[in-house]
Amino acid sequence: MTTALGEFSPDERAAQEERLRKAWETPKGWRYWTSVNNSQIGLWYGVTAFGFMLFAGVLALLVRLQLAVPNNDLLTADFFNQAFTLHGTVMMFLFAVPIFEAIAIFLLPSMLGARELPFPRLSAFGFWSFLLGGVFVCGSIFFNSAPSTGWFMYPPLATSKEYSGIGADIWLLGLSFIEVASIAAAVEIIVGIMKCRAPGMRINMMPMFAWYLLIVAGMILFAFPPLIAGDILFEMERMFGWPFFDAERGGDPLLWQHLFWIFGHPEVYIIFLPAIALMAMIVPTFSQRPIVGYSWIVLAAVGTGFLSFGLWVHHMFTTGLPQISLAFFSAASEAVVIPTGVQIFVFIATMLAGRVIFSVPMLFGAGGLVVFVIGGLTGVMVALVPFDWQAHDTYFVVAHLHYVLIGGMLFPIIAGIYYYFPFFSGKKLSDAWGKAAFWLMFVGFNIAFFPMHFSGLRGMPRRVFTYPGDVGWDWFNLISTIGAFIFATGVLTVVVDIFRPKTKLNDLNPWRSGTLEWTNNPDESWGMRSVPIISSRYPLWDQPGLQRDIEAGRYYLPDAQSGRRETLVTSVLDAEPIQCLRVGGTSYVTIVAALALGGVFIALTFHWWITTIVCAVITLMAILYWLWTGTAEIPPTPEMDVGLGKSLPIYVSGPASVGWWAMFITMVGDGTAFASLMFGYFFYWTIHDDFTAGLNGPGVFWPSVAIALFIVSWGLMLAARHLNRGDKIAGARLALIFSLAASLGGSVAGLLGPYVYDMQPTTHVYPAIVWIIVIWAVVHAVVGCIMQLYCLARSFAGIMTARYDQDIVNVTLYWHFLTITAVVSFGVVGLFPLVR
Amino acid sequence: MTGSSVSFVRFTPCRGACRGTSSWRGSALTAGTIILQSVILSSCSGVQSALDPAGPEASDVATLFHVMLIGGVVIWLGVVGALFHAGRRAREPYSERTAGLVILWCGAIIPVIVLAALLSYAVWLMPNMRPWSSGGEGGLRQIEVSGEQFWWRVRYLDPEGNVLFETANEVVMPVGERVLFVLKSPDVIHSFWIPSLGGKMDMIPGRTNRLALEASKPGTYRGVCAEFCGPSHALMAFSVEALERGEFEAWLSGRQNAASNPGSQGLALFLRHGCNACHAIDGTDARGTIGPNLSAFGARGTVGAGTLPNTEEHIARFIRHPSEIKPQARMPSFGMIPEGDAEEIAAYLKGLK
Amino acid sequence: MKHLLPPEIESLWTLFTAPVVWAAHFVVCYAAVAIYCEKAAVWDVDFGNVRTALGIFTLLALAMIVLSAYLAWRQWGFGAGDPPHDGATDQDRKRFQGFATLLLSGLSFVAVVYVAIPLIFIAGCQQ
């Protein structure tokens, strides 16, 4: 270490700690819930997700009870269908994905050596959205109106009001709302991992967990938007009768299956990779050595991330698509096995090269692996088209997916709970209870799910509420039910162990782990006492005295003289400090924004249009207030001393700033949703001989005018940024106003196309898809105009200047994406009908 | 819900014998032995088992499964063995280099080779299993099946695609000949699956899918709907009867030339209560097309698409309270019909052969 | 802006080159066949031509992956210095990137070959 460390007298240290404590203080009383500190939010998030898991588990037990014997009449068919639909939905959307967002938000700051992730208020907003959406979706079953068409909601069963009730709307709108929360978390995680690592933590030294989460957050960005696009089409059909999936009017039920599974299959890996990430933290600790094959893990994570997007049709092998297409997806499905195998052998190799301590976390980890390998092997089987023709939609698949998810995700999570419990509470869970829980869960699980392979191959389809007694399934089902209850006892044991009173440990690092998070003192909310310089993958093993130096405030940011929450921003590859970022503090605006946005979705479900509009306006106001008061704040001094003789800027704009990255990442996700809509357009073109069905298109003239105006608007936006940077404020404002006018004009021209040609979206899918694409572009233009007005207001208020120009730079970035969206939209709807 | 037994009348003789053994023993034994047990017992598992193939496609898949099962067991034992070995305490730690080679060989190279071989086998199998799909459907006997909430409309077609006659919830087919099923749906997605003969194929509104299956031995098999299609998805089965060619031809001509049905008290009630609005009975004035065609109903094994055994009592109950037997069945309740009338109609239907 | 992304990000992108090539290859194979099978009757193109074109495209994709692997190998110093590449130096960081990129190129190569296997065995849409 070449940098001289700071030295402070005990008095100075006490004063520093007092200031830090004050800056990072968690509010008391009811205001506690306005906290935005990531470790707080992470905990709430995790507990909520775990609660939803228990709820969905109870539903599963009801399902198992009904199926225990043939011709059972314990549950009605309708309730059974609601129960299994909600079981799948809740486990996937309210437990599996959110629990990792929770764990990531909770662990990442300490693991990366950051005080805080860059957007704590965004995390709080995500949490409140998640809670509200989750309660809304789960609560529906108590009013007998839960979704009942299976967690993948195939149309026309789920689109037609003849076949499905309000449950389908609750599913669509409730989950769309939660998807917003997931994308918010993804933005937070990506920017956090790329920009907020401790100095010296180069990309070859990032903890494995961070590598995985980076990939997973990237996957969320490309996987969730297709579902959001699908949800929009779906809800337009349910609410207004636009026939996207109605075969009689040119739609096709298969489009939903494509969009759903483009989301659905990556989602499996979005769930699985973070669990493996936990294992990658646990295995080295208990093998008492660094992981073997760090680069192999990176290969596996990145490889899985990519390949998982080429698997979706393997959920559609029986839909009658050309066999050659099926075979491509079968091939990619086999290829994804390779990185998965690599991960398993990385763990085995690490254990081989170390001396293994079989603790409870290790027990759950190894047990999970034993289970997961069976799920992986049956996965290889069902990925082969001929076998899937038989196994698809049977209990064989039910067995397969539970082996994968419980072995690959639930067991590692429990391992993670046992491993990280001392990290957040300073107490340890019991070894005895843990072992009992493990064996109950392991044995119960296998008794419950192994027989399902056989009932499936013997012809038992999934999602049946009853079955005959004489086809050879009865014994298998009874055994499964018994196993399910043994398994549930195991889960209950874990819950009891968590709530049992325990004594405080006098040790921050009871497992003798090597990674940075174990320097964290759970009693303080400041995260790191000072932000260390890292020179190893396992700094606690390789950097002697690190813990002591951190606690003595010898590194960066030992103080909080401004009284603000501050964290370091570092460069992407080599983690050189480049900025001292002031993050948002405690606020109620996030709750207001989340509740109002929730109000929009809930009101839409019940078609309360006025409430919808009121809530939308409140949401917009709350977000504007949040941005105005909480972002791009001009600091009193341009630079500040962060300790160790280093001075860093407080305000940066452009690609160096975290805000720019958040905008970029959000727009990549947005672009994916747009691409999904365009996929829909070309999908209809492929399946029909004449996809316009002889109906009017939007013509060429108006779309061309729209394109021209959007390009003009883009040019003016660039000019505005340029003028503002050159301190020609009046010119910049003028350019902004003209740009705004041009994009509004473009929007009107865009709408005029389908309007003047009298395209009726309810008559056929062609006008419907044209309208939806045009509306998508126009909505983006309107949002852009609001951003421009915001910039103008900031400029007039004197808080957007030539030097402090984050707002206008970020809006220009938005404009690049908007222009691409508009040009592609109007270009395709206007010109493609001519050239096809 | 239905209190009575859901049953199939005919079943293969070995089924009862193997059911008891394989399952109770399975519960007591460890995972590994269950796998071996299943290999031994899989040849005997019922009218609806993919592991008891009665046609070339099902038997190809069963072979594929057994190959994968053996391979899978070997791999699983290998991985778990390695895990246990790695977890042993009394053992010198491997060098980092050796451990790296473990990853390279066991994690990467061997899986690449094994998976490439398996993938090639399966992809090679596909066009051989379903050669009819490359346009060679000419000359195949065609049966059009339409999945409807929650029953099966079955139409026998002539080579030009014209409907010879219609029936419901039963498929009769000749042995030793590929039969082309033309699969459609007017309402929601269903999936047509006869595990003993081969894989499934979805029935999707707006699309027509084709599936050719062959039965290699005579017998009665059970088919079900495999895609969740609504509240009574579980109660949507059909029977498949594979007959020797001669028997089949006889059955076919018998059905085509159904003599006009003599009038009876039951038929009169059937018409009076409006059953003919939805149902047809060939050779009578009942020509409804919304619900299942009831010609030769008495010859069917079940009432309500595999829900109840075909007895007069069950027919009468179904007429009066279909939704009690089959939740949200499309057929309205005829609870207002006097019990005696319902029984009379039931007797008439049961007598149609 | 001369670069769309800052230069340091571009060098992180080299890690993703090979999988991006795989993705492009996969999308082209899928889209070509999906469109061909729906429009074959309209366009009157023989499946053999589609197969040949995709075969050539596969070779092209493999060549690009080999190129990416070569560059990665160079970044790794042509195999100089075995893993774990865990030092706090620029050199170790570059070698780590090189080695990880090389591994990913290997995986992408295998995945492209897998996706091409159906083109060998299936000689039509088979719908």
- Over 60: is that where the pLDDT of C5 sits? no
Separation in Å, CA of B90 to nearest CA in chain C:
26
Element (H or E) spanning B339, and its range? helix B339-351
Residues of A in contact with B107 (CB under 8 A): 296, 341-346, 349
pLDDT tens digits for range C16-72:
899 999 999 999 999 999 999 988 777 778 889 999 999 999 999 999 999 999 988
pLDDT computed for residue A822 by the predictor: 98
| Percent of chain B clearing pLDDT 70 (strictly above) | 84
Selected residue with higher pLDDT from A383 and B139: A383
| Beta carbons of B226 and B193 less than 8 angstroms apart | yes
pLDDT tens digits for range A616-627:
999 999 999 999
* Interchain pair B119, C117: CB under 8 A: yes
Nearest to A331 among C16, C38, C118 (CB): C118
pLDDT tens digits for range A133-162:
999 999 999 999 999 999 999 999 999 888
* Interchain pair B126, C126: CB under 8 A: yes
User: What number is the average pLDDT over the span A592-614?
Assistant: 95
pLDDT tens digits for range B47-105:
889 999 999 999 999 999 999 999 999 999 999 999 999 988 778 899 999 999 999 99
pLDDT computed for residue A633 by the predictor: 87
- Over 50: is that where the pLDDT of B6 sits? no
For all residues of chain A together, what is the average pLDDT? 94
User: What number is the average pLDDT over the span A396-423?
Assistant: 96
Q: Dihedral sign, CA of A208, A214, A215, A217?
A: positive
- Over 70: is that where the pLDDT of A821 sits? yes
Separation in Å, CA of B201 to nearest CA in chain C:
12
* Interchain pair A73, B111: CB under 8 A: no
CA angle in degrees (0–180, nearest 5) for B230-A165-A231: 95
Selected residue with higher pLDDT from A472 and A258: A258
Interface of C with B in 47-76 (CB under 8 A): none
In whole angstroms, give the CA distance from residue A737 to residue A749. 18
Topology given in CATH for the domain delimited by B265-350: Immunoglobulin-like (2.60.40)
Topology given in CATH for the domain delimited by B45-257: Immunoglobulin-like (2.60.40)
* Interchain pair A326, B126: CB under 8 A: yes
| Beta carbons of A340 and A380 less than 8 angstroms apart | no
A82: exposed, middle or buried (Cβ count in 10 Å: 0-12, 13-18, 19+): buried
CB pairs under 8 A between B and C: 37
For B103-108, the CB contacts below 8 A with 24+ separation are B103/A292, B103/A293, B103/A296, B103/A342, B103/A345, B103/A346, B103/A349, B106/A341, B106/A345, B106/A348, B106/B82, B107/A296, B107/A341, B107/A342, B107/A343, B107/A344, B107/A345, B107/A346, B107/A349, B108/A338, B108/A341, B108/A342, B108/C106
Residue with tokens 């106001």: A621
CB pairs under 8 A between A and C: 147
In whole angstroms, give the CA distance from residue A250 to residue A764. 6
Nearest to B19 among A327, A391, A472 (CB): A472
Lowest mean pLDDT among A276-280, A739-743, C94-98: C94-98
Residues of B in contact with C83 (CB under 8 A): 100
Domain ranges of chain B: 45-257, 265-350
Q: Read off the pLDDT band of B262 (50, 70, 90).
A: low
pLDDT tens digits for range B220-229:
999 999 999 9
* Interchain pair A290, C84: CB under 8 A: yes
* Interchain pair A324, C126: CB under 8 A: yes
Nearest to C126 among B116, B124, B130 (CB): B130
* Interchain pair C83, B116: CB under 8 A: no
In whole angstroms, give the CA distance from residue A753 to residue A773. 12
- Over 60: is that where the pLDDT of B113 sits? yes
Residues of A in contact with B148 (CB under 8 A): none
pLDDT tens digits for range A336-374:
999 999 999 999 999 999 999 989 999 999 999 999 999
pLDDT computed for residue A98 by the predictor: 94
Same fold, B45-257 and B265-350: yes
Nearest to B6 among A323, A370, A468 (CB): A468
How many DSSP H helices and E strands does chain B contain? 10, 12
User: What number is the average pLDDT over the span A737-757?
Assistant: 97
* Interchain contact A294–C (C-beta under 8 A): yes
Q: Chain B residue with minimal CA distance to C112? A: B116
Residues of A in contact with C110 (CB under 8 A): 335, 338
- Over 90: is that where the pLDDT of A769 sits? yes
- Over 70: is that where the pLDDT of B21 sits? no
Q: What three-state secondary structure class fits A580?
A: strand
pLDDT tens digits for range C64-119:
999 999 988 888 877 777 778 887 888 888 888 889 999 999 999 999 999 999 99
* Interchain contact B51–A (C-beta under 8 A): yes
In whole angstroms, give the CA distance from residue B266 to residue B349. 8
pTM for this model (two decimals): 0.94
* Interchain pair A332, C90: CB under 8 A: no
Q: Write out the two tokens for A642.
A: 């962060």
pLDDT tens digits for range A506-522:
888 999 999 999 998 88
What DSSP line would sit under B122-189, residue for residue? HHHHHHHH-GGGGTTTTT-EEEEEEEETTEEEEEEE-TTS-EEEEEESEEEEEBTS-EEEEEE-SSS-
Residues of B in contact with C125 (CB under 8 A): 134
Residue type at A71 in one-letter notation = N
To test the contact with chain B by mutation, choose from A458, A474, A477 the residue with the greatest count of B C-beta atoms within 10 A, namely: A458
